Structure 1
Amino acid sequence: MHGLCICRLVGLAAEIGVVLLIGGAGVVKTLTPASAPSTTKDYDMDPTLAVGYLRQYRSMTCYQLARAHDQLTAVAEREGVVLCKVFVEHLPTDPAAFDALIRSVKRRRIAAVIVPTEAHLSAVGNDQTKLERLHRETSARALAVDGSIPT
């Protein structure tokens, strides 16, 4: 019942343009009409789980890819979450890996997505960035190794 009331409140706030801060179980999220309500609610999230995402650029060597993976793992450890999987996007098939990431985040109620830089969540082929899509379709927070995504 409590979750249903929060969902109604979030929906109403989005309609009238009010910004809400919702806290509970360590989750605090600012909701605006552009990002609320999402299909996966904060109270459903498992705060111990994270996934990684990175684009494998054509010039990226196997060493650089392994280093990026290690950096994602280090951020997960620092944040106290388990890095379940790293989704690697190959540019010719973009956004196939990101689509799989979204499905996994929703299905497993993953709380965080870790990327090397915010650029890995930039737009490809349309105006909407992957960061915007992540916030629209899930309640997972995005974390960047370099700190480029504000929390």
Structure 2
Amino acid sequence: MNDVELGQVQHHLAEVARRHGRTLGTVHVEELPTDPEAFNVLLASLAHLDVPAVIIPTKAHLGRWDLRGSKYDLLQQVAKAEVIVAEP
């Protein structure tokens, strides 16, 4: 993803946040070579913050939602936040 595409995604996420009565804060960008380390850094950051919602571009960004220990499951446990999916 180049800078223009990233800007477009951030703009879209900000629009989705507004529709849900939220304000977009920090955008976490994970690259395939940094997975799962970058996701673990995100979880560590969320563990120390009071975050009411996490917005993800698509469900696929968190993998399978029905497995214990999945990224979705870990995000729910650590952040205790609403997970908003920007694209169905």
Give the TM-score normalised by structure 1: 0.50
Q: Which runs of 5+ in 1 are unaligned?
A: 1-59
1:131 aligns with 2:75: no
Which residue matches 1:61? 2
1:43-122 to structure 2, matched below 5 A, reads: 60-122=1-63
Q: Which runs of 5+ in 2 are unaligned?
A: none
What is the deviation of 1:115?
A: 0.8
Runs of 4+ in 1 over 3 A off after TM superposition: none
Identity of aligned residues (%): 36
Q: Which amino acid aligns with 1:96?
A: E
Between Structure 1 and Structure 2, which shows a larger proportion of strand residues?
A: 1
**Cα separation, 2, equivalents of 1:104 and 1:79:** 23
Equivalent residue pairs, number: 85
**Cα separation, 2, equivalents of 1:68 and 1:129:** 24
Give the TM-score normalised by structure 2: 0.80
Larger gyration radius, structure 1 or structure 2: 1
Q: Which has the higher contact order (CA 8 A, sep 6+)?
A: 2
**Cα separation, 1, equivalents of 2:40 and 2:27:** 13
**Cα separation, 2, equivalents of 1:140 and 1:131:** 11
Question: Once the two structures are superposed, what CA deviation does each residue of 1:36-92 show, in whole Å capped at 9, x if it has no partner?
Answer: xxxxxxxxxxxxxxxxxxxxxxxx333222211111111112222222200000110
Q: Which amino acid aligns with 1:90?
A: E
Which residue matches 1:140? 81
